[in-house]
Amino acid sequence: MALRQEPYVLVVGGSDSSGGAGIGRDIETISSIGVRACLAVTAVTVQTHEAVREIHHSSPSLVAAQMCAALQANEVAAIKIGMLATAEIVVAVAAVLRDYPQVPAILDPVLASSSGQQLLEASAIHVMTRDLMPVCRLVTPNLIELAFLAGTDPAADENDALRQGRELLATGLQALLIKGGHAIGARSADILLRFDQEPARFDAPRLAGSVRGTGCMLASAIAAHLAKASPLEDSVRKGKEFVFEKLQENAVT
C-alpha cells in the first residue's frame, strides 16, 4: 500500500556518481518542485565531471519490474525517462508504457555525455524512434540528438532544425521539444512542435559557463509540472524557467 496518495514522478534512468546528471539530478529537481519521485534504475555509471569511467546496465526485466512495482506502489502522475543504455531496455520500457497509456511520459533521448561517452548503444536508436517515442507525451532532443534521431546532419540553422523536427514528428510522435542550447548566438530558443498546432517558442538569454545535467533537469521539471496537472505548454514554460534559474545560480562569467 502506498504511504501517501500524492502525485509521484517515476524516474527511469541511470545513476551518475559525480552527481552532475542522471537520476540524482532528476530526484533533486522533482522534489524541489514539490513532487515525490520513485525509481527504475537502468544503469549504474562511474563518472567524474570530466569522464565516464564505467557503465553497468540493468537487465531489461529488472527495469520493467522496477517500473511496474513503482507504478503499483504509488499514484504515478508522470514518467521521466533518461539514459536507457541498450536496445533491449528501450523495448522493455516501451512495453510498460503501453500498459499505462494514461500516464504521460517525457523522454530525454540521452545518447552521449558531454564528455563524449556514448550512453545509448547505436543499435538502440532505431528501436527508440520506432517503439518508444510514439508512446511518449513529449520527446526533448537537443540539436545533436535531433539530427541523430532524424538520421541526418546537425541543423545549420533554426529553419533546418524545424524541418528535421517536423520530419521526426511525422513518424508518429505526439510532441517534440527541440532544445536550441547548442546553437550559436546570444539567445537560446527551444521550440515545441505538436502535430496539429503552431510551433510554440521559448526564448531565453544565453548565459556564460556551462552546467552539467541541464537536459535531465528540464525533462524532470516538465514531468513534475505535468504531475501537478499543468497542461503541456505551461509545464514546458515552467520547466524552462526552473532551468534558467538554476543556470543563473551557477553561471560563470
- Interacting residue ranges for ligand PLP, rule: CB under 6 A: 13-14, 16, 20-22, 45, 82-83, 108, 110, 113-115, 119, 212-213, 215-216
- Residue with smaller CB distance to ligand PLP, 14 or 104: 14
Minimum CB–partner distance for residue 47 and ligand PLP (Å): 6
How far is residue 80's CA from residue 247's CA, in Å, rounded to a whole number?
Answer: 21
HSE-CB at 67 with a 13 A cutoff on CA atoms is: 28
**Minimum Å distance from CB 159 to ligand PLP?**
26
Pick 74 or 214: Cβ nearer ligand PLP: 214
Residue 58 DSSP label: P
Provide the minimum distance between the beta carbon of 198 and ligand PLP in the complex, in angstroms, as a whole number: 29
Name the residue with the smallest CB distance to ligand PLP.
Answer: 22
Q: What φ, ψ does residue 77 adopt, rounded to 5°?
A: -105, -10
Nearer to ligand PLP, 25 or 237 (CB): 25
Minimum CB separation of residue 131 from ligand PLP in Å reads 20
Q: Determine the Cα–Cα distance for residues 84 and 4; give it in Å rounded to an integer.
A: 29
- H helices present in the chain, as ranges: 22-32, 60-73, 87-99, 124-127, 143-150, 158-169, 214-227, 232-250
